[in-house]
Chains A and B, each alone.
Chain A
Amino acid sequence: MSNSSTSFSSSVHGVERERERERERERERERMERSSEEVTPSEAAVLITPRTDPIRGDDRNGNLNPISTASSLRAEWPTIDGPLGLSEQDSVGYARKFFGFGFILLPMLWAVNCYYFWPVLRNSRSFPRIRPYVVGSAIGVTIFTAMLASWALTFTIGGERLFGHTWDELVMYNVADRYGLTGWI
């Protein structure tokens, strides 16, 4: 959690970058250990197989090898950026913050949350700590978009027949003309 707070108020780049580097190195080391474990059983099992390409995000690695600990390997990276994104510990604070800030009329933050943690949404049994926030964000986005779309469509399609005089006052191009919003550039 302190990591995520520093990532929000990063006034000293060097420190943040060092931590990132350390984390990345740890991840690499872990991953190289794991991948070396996986490779040998599969190579032993089949005579002539090329080493299969682990797909980016390493989602399939766990699935290929039934011996490996499937749940921890299947969705190794909670973010959509895979190894370039956050690790699981950082993600919890991040997801929580975005979920919280989305309530101040910022549904786009919820959408970003869902997009960023798409692997979490996809595998319904992984990342138990992050999942509530991401699912909450998804629900929030759908509800908000439904409300906003219904209002906007009512406004556009209803037009003057529905609203009468106030339609002219509310529509954006009239507001822009009235306050001269396009004139100052």
Chain B
Amino acid sequence: MDQSQRPKGILHSLGEEIIRIITPVSICMFLVVILVSILDADSSSSPSFTTIATIAYDETTSDTEWDKFKGALLNSLVFVTVVTLVTFLLVLLFYFRCTGFLKYYMGFSAFLVLGFMGGEIALFLIQVFNFAIDCFTYVLLLFNFTIVGVLAVFMSKIPIFLTQSYMVIIGVLTAYWFTMLPEWTTWVLLVAMALYDLAAVLLPVGPLRLLVELAISRDEDIPALVYEARPIIDHGNTTIVQRRVWREPVNPESHIESSQNEVSIANVEQGQGDELRAPLMEPLGENMVLEGIGLGASGAIKLGLGDFIFYSVLVGRAAMYDFMTVYACYLAIIAGLGITLILLALYQKALPALPVSVLLGVLFYVLTRVFLEEFIVQCSSNLLMF
């Protein structure tokens, strides 16, 4: 009887782990698409919205495409430079053991995102639906929501479901903010961030790689906004698996994942936007030692919040064009995520989760918009298919 459970156990746990990471990513993308579709109308009337991502060039609809492209390149360059500098600053702070400061900063940025960004999007929704709520109730609900969210990010002993939900919500709010950038800037920015992620995690001088190596050598936790999937508990053995598995010194091949993604939506006038990318983590293998008991499950998969955000930005931008591009980009991103997980299992080290998905997503968006749409429209209007 035990034997028959074993093979089912491995497949069951592997599939369940993958599902436990794909589900929140899909939910995040879905919510952003819904938000974008409801709160539409910003596609043509982009308000002069100066942030750090549009500081070099403010796109207007009257420029030629080449000008827009050049402006977008400049914007992305500025943004990636700022992100690199901030990540190096983070590495420095972590090196000097200012983890307390980092944790407080993380809580503060979560407060800003949930309080201000969340409040504003709630106001947009109230205006669109003409929902007659009074200001006292609204303030009270927002206050509760924000405080519990900050606690969920800050403390470690909150129900797992609540922490995960708040991570997804923070991802949704930040991604919605990013979709308000001008179009060309968004696309070039996505590609630039994918390339940056590739460089920062894989190059030996990359800041994220330094951060992760520091964290491993000290056996500490990086204070970061990370989505952590619920670890699988093997029912056969009822062993508790440690969640922070990557810090097991026994296994030298442990993969780590650190994702620090903080976006502080500060003043529009000053135009600040900090953000840090992060690689994807892989669960530890079966050779983990736990006081001599038989193991079972591996650790949980962790995915950085930045990955959530950029995937959702891609899909949100695709939603601003049409739903056809949304489907294509969603499939591309999920395929990219699957490929990244496979690569992770092969290479057993920290990997960037952005490049494959984002590059595939952008490719599919362009192909769909240029070729597929034309094809489908022609077929439909001639009553040939669909």
Give A residues with C-beta under 8 Å from B. Answer: 7-8, 10-14, 16-17, 21, 24-25, 27-29, 31-32, 35, 50-51, 53-56, 58, 79-86, 90, 94, 105-109, 112, 115-116, 148, 151-152, 155-156, 159, 170-173, 175-176, 181-182, 184-185
From B5, B134, B230, A152 is in contact (CB under 8 Å) with: B134
The CA of A29 and the CA of B290, in the complex, are separated in Å by 10
In the complex, chain B residues whose CB is within 8 Å of the CB of A32: 239, 293
Residue with the highest number of chain A CB atoms closer than 10 Å, among B140, B145, B177, B220: B140
Q: Give the distance to chain B from A70, nearest Cβ to Cβ, in Å.
A: 18
- Tell me whether A54 and B99 are in contact in the complex, defined as CB-CB below 8 angstroms, given that A27-B240, A151-B137 are known contacts: no
In the complex, chain B residues whose CB is within 8 Å of the CB of A171: 132-135
From B138, B160, B180, B268, A84 is in contact (CB under 8 Å) with: B160
- Is there an interface contact between A172 and B134, defined as CB atoms closer than 8 Å? yes
- Is there an interface contact between A155 and B137, defined as CB atoms closer than 8 Å? yes
From B130, B148, B160, B244, A112 is in contact (CB under 8 Å) with: B148
In the complex, chain B residues whose CB is within 8 Å of the CB of A16: 156
- Is there an interface contact between A172 and B133, defined as CB atoms closer than 8 Å? yes
- Tell me whether A172 and B123 are in contact in the complex, defined as CB-CB below 8 angstroms, given that A81-B160, A83-B240 are known contacts: yes
In the complex, chain A residues whose CB is within 8 Å of the CB of B136: 151, 170
The CA of A159 and the CA of B134, in the complex, are separated in Å by 10
- Is there an interface contact between A176 and B103, defined as CB atoms closer than 8 Å? no
Q: Give the distance to chain B from A2, nearest Cβ to Cβ, in Å.
A: 14
- Is there an interface contact between A85 and B242, defined as CB atoms closer than 8 Å? no
The CA of A109 and the CA of B230, in the complex, are separated in Å by 22
- Is there an interface contact between B238 and A31, defined as CB atoms closer than 8 Å? yes
- Is there an interface contact between B293 and A12, defined as CB atoms closer than 8 Å? no
Whether, in the assembled complex, B147 has its beta carbon less than 8 Å from a beta carbon of chain A, the answer is yes
The CA of A84 and the CA of B156, in the complex, are separated in Å by 11
Question: Can you list 24 residue pairs at the A/B interface with Cβ under 8 Å?
Answer: A8-B155, A11-B100, A14-B221, A17-B247, A28-B239, A28-B293, A32-B239, A51-B236, A56-B233, A81-B160, A105-B144, A107-B144, A108-B145, A108-B147, A108-B148, A112-B162, A148-B137, A170-B134, A173-B126, A175-B135, A185-B49, A185-B120, A185-B177, A185-B180
The CA of A32 and the CA of B295, in the complex, are separated in Å by 12
Whether, in the assembled complex, B60 has its beta carbon less than 8 Å from a beta carbon of chain A, the answer is no
Q: Give the distance to chain B from A130, nearest Cβ to Cβ, in Å.
A: 14
Q: Give the distance to chain B from A122, nearest Cβ to Cβ, in Å.
A: 15
Q: Give the distance to chain A from B128, nearest Cβ to Cβ, in Å.
A: 10
The CA of A170 and the CA of B99, in the complex, are separated in Å by 43
- Is there an interface contact between B137 and A152, defined as CB atoms closer than 8 Å? yes
Q: Give the distance to chain B from A158, nearest Cβ to Cβ, in Å.
A: 10
- Tell me whether A17 and B160 are in contact in the complex, defined as CB-CB below 8 angstroms, given that A108-B148, A185-B268 are known contacts: no
Give B residues with C-beta under 8 Å from A. Answer: 1-2, 5, 49, 99-100, 103, 117, 119-120, 123-124, 126-127, 130-138, 140, 143-145, 147-148, 151, 155-160, 162, 177, 180, 218-221, 223, 230-231, 233, 235-236, 238-240, 242-244, 247, 265, 268, 290-291, 293
- Tell me whether A172 and B138 are in contact in the complex, defined as CB-CB below 8 angstroms, given that A51-B1, A80-B159, A108-B148 are known contacts: yes
For the complex of A and B, the 3 pairs showing the least CB-CB separation, nearest first, are A50-B1, A11-B100, A108-B144
A interface majority secondary structure: helix
From A11, A28, A50, A148, B240 is in contact (CB under 8 Å) with: A28
The CA of A31 and the CA of B170, in the complex, are separated in Å by 37
Q: Give the distance to chain B from A105, nearest Cβ to Cβ, in Å.
A: 6
In the complex, chain B residues whose CB is within 8 Å of the CB of A90: 157
Q: Give the distance to chain B from A37, nearest Cβ to Cβ, in Å.
A: 13
- Tell me whether A83 and B233 are in contact in the complex, defined as CB-CB below 8 angstroms, given that A13-B223, A155-B132 are known contacts: yes
Q: Give the distance to chain A from B286, nearest Cβ to Cβ, in Å.
A: 17
The CA of A28 and the CA of B234, in the complex, are separated in Å by 13
- Is there an interface contact between B133 and A148, defined as CB atoms closer than 8 Å? no
- Tell me whether A28 and B155 are in contact in the complex, defined as CB-CB below 8 angstroms, given that A148-B137, A156-B132 are known contacts: no
Residue with the highest number of chain A CB atoms closer than 10 Å, among B99, B132, B135, B230: B132
Q: Give the distance to chain B from A47, nearest Cβ to Cβ, in Å.
A: 12
The CA of A151 and the CA of B133, in the complex, are separated in Å by 10
- Is there an interface contact between A35 and B291, defined as CB atoms closer than 8 Å? no
- Is there an interface contact between A56 and B162, defined as CB atoms closer than 8 Å? no
Q: Give the distance to chain A from B206, nearest Cβ to Cβ, in Å.
A: 23
In the complex, chain A residues whose CB is within 8 Å of the CB of B156: 7, 10, 16
- Is there an interface contact between A24 and B242, defined as CB atoms closer than 8 Å? yes
The CA of A152 and the CA of B134, in the complex, are separated in Å by 7
Q: Give the distance to chain B from A161, nearest Cβ to Cβ, in Å.
A: 13
When C-beta atoms are compared, the residue in chain B nearest to A4 turns out to be: B157
- Is there an interface contact between B291 and A84, defined as CB atoms closer than 8 Å? no
